[in-house]
Protein backbone atom coordinates (compact mmCIF):
# COMPACT_ATOMS: atom_id res chain seq x y z
CA UNK A 1 0.00 0.00 0.00
CA UNK A 2 2.82 2.41 0.83
CA UNK A 3 4.43 1.95 -2.59
CA UNK A 4 1.08 2.59 -4.25
CA UNK A 5 0.61 5.83 -2.26
CA UNK A 6 4.30 6.84 -2.65
CA UNK A 7 4.89 6.71 1.13
CA UNK A 8 8.12 5.56 2.77
CA UNK A 9 8.27 3.97 6.23
CA UNK A 10 11.45 5.33 7.82
CA UNK A 11 11.01 3.77 11.28
CA UNK A 12 8.40 1.61 12.96
CA UNK A 13 7.98 0.14 16.44
CA UNK A 14 5.18 -2.18 17.58
CA UNK A 15 4.01 -2.17 21.18
CA UNK A 16 1.34 -4.29 22.85
CA UNK A 17 -1.48 -1.79 22.24
CA UNK A 18 -0.18 0.73 19.69
CA UNK A 19 2.32 1.37 16.88
CA UNK A 20 4.81 4.21 16.39
CA UNK A 21 5.70 5.04 12.78
CA UNK A 22 7.88 7.67 11.15
CA UNK A 23 6.67 8.16 7.58
CA UNK A 24 7.67 10.25 4.60
CA UNK A 25 4.54 11.23 2.67
CA UNK A 26 4.16 13.30 -0.52
CA UNK A 27 3.41 17.03 -0.03
CA UNK A 28 0.02 16.63 -1.76
CA UNK A 29 -1.19 14.09 0.83
CA UNK A 30 -2.30 15.03 4.33
CA UNK A 31 -1.37 12.90 7.32
CA UNK A 32 -5.03 12.34 8.17
CA UNK A 33 -5.88 11.16 4.65
CA UNK A 34 -3.07 8.59 4.72
CA UNK A 35 -4.04 7.38 8.19
CA UNK A 36 -7.55 6.85 6.84
CA UNK A 37 -6.12 4.33 4.37
CA UNK A 38 -4.45 2.36 7.16
Sketch the domain layout of the chain as residue ranges.
2-37
* Beta carbons within 10 angstroms of residue 23's beta carbon: 15
CA distance 4 to 17: 27
Q: Which long-range contacts (CB under 8 A, 24 or more apart) does 31-37 make?
A: 34/5, 34/7, 37/1, 37/5
pLDDT score, position 27: 93
CA distance 38 to 24: 15
Question: For the segment 4-35, what is each residue's pLDDT rounded down to a tens digit?
Answer: 889 999 999 999 999 999 999 999 999 898 88
pTM, two decimals, is: 0.65
User: H or E stretch including 24?
Assistant: strand 19-24
How many residues are there in the chain? 38
pLDDT score, position 2: 83
Amino acid sequence: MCEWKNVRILEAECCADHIHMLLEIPPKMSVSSFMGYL
